[in-house]
Amino acid sequence: MSSPGDSRRTTARRRETALFLLAVPALLLLGIIFAWPVLRLLAMSVEDGTLANFEKATLDELYLYVLFDSVKIAAMVMAICLLVAYPVAFWLSRAGRWGVALGMFALLLPFWTSVLVRTYAWLVLLGRNGVVNRWLRDAGLIDAPLPLLHNTSGVLIGMVHVLLPYMVFPIYASLLRIDPDLSRAAEGLGAPAWRSFLRVTFPLSLPGVSAGCALVFVLSLGFFITPALLGGGRVIMVSMLIEQQVREFLDWPFAAALSTVLLVATLAIYALIGRITRGARHA
């Protein structure tokens, strides 16, 4: 005979199994179209039986430098996105119906435009004789055109523009989930608005911040077209080197090694972001 507690536990376990079954198709799909190819890729990088490809990818200063530079740019894009996105998300979470509609429209419209088109639009706006420089010159603010394009700043502007929605939406979602009574309670207990934000709202929004940062960072590392066009050749991202190897030189084993190094670096930084935000939440 089983006790009522046991049967409850069995029911719970059965429910868990049933719920897990629901996830099986998705897991299978991921396994087939993602995990398996990644493993094949890993295998390809050591095809020749040596670690020579990895040696080149991790010890050669060219590839190290480019990897470091890519991580640096991804981190900068992430930081700028966070600074810009948080106030927007905060405003959206407090705005009325029309404010939300307008904000969503403004965020999603560029989101649905091809990255290539947007990148070319920046070329027109930021060039030496572009719209921005012409305005600044006509306003008497500058004498010589600002170098906004064909350097790191051009790449940052272009990438932040493309990736901003990925930061805004997770933060917005987590801000919406916060019970408004909590900050009301904090203020009712005499906390000024800034302290209630800092001690209540912000810590509770950290899951969104963490998700947004991770998304933007990971997507940034794989960026390709925007840095190629707006960097004027002076910015090289790892993804560009991988593309060269795959498409131009057909050195797939080396491309696989580079991709693996990039994947490992991404996972490591992803874990780091999770740890930092978790730490901050418990502080």
Q: Which residues bind other proteins (CB under 8 A)?
A: 62, 65-66, 120, 123-124, 127-130, 149-150, 228-229, 232-234, 236, 241, 243-244, 246-251
Please give the Cα distance from 136 to 134 (Å, whole number). 5
Q: Which of these, 60, 73, 27, 51, lies nearest to 269 by C-alpha position?
A: 73
Q: Which is nearer to other proteins, 153 or 203 (CB)?
A: 153
CB of 225 to other proteins, least distance (A): 9
Residues near 269 by beta carbon (within 8 Å), at least 6 away in sequence: 71, 217
Q: With the C-alpha atoms ordered 152, 156, 158, 162, is the resulting torsion angle positive or negative?
A: positive
CB of 126 to other proteins, least distance (A): 10
Please give the Cα distance from 148 to 232 (Å, whole number). 11
CB of 134 to other proteins, least distance (A): 11
CB of 65 to other proteins, least distance (A): 6
Q: Which is nearer to other proteins, 87 or 233 (CB)?
A: 233
Q: With the C-alpha atoms ordered 97, 99, 104, 110, is the resulting torsion angle positive or negative?
A: positive
Q: Which is nearer to other proteins, 170 or 231 (CB)?
A: 231
CB of 124 to other proteins, least distance (A): 7
Q: Which is nearer to other proteins, 72 or 177 (CB)?
A: 72
Q: What's the maximum distance between 2 C-alpha atoms anywhere in the chain? A: 90
Q: Which is nearer to other proteins, 61 or 181 (CB)?
A: 61
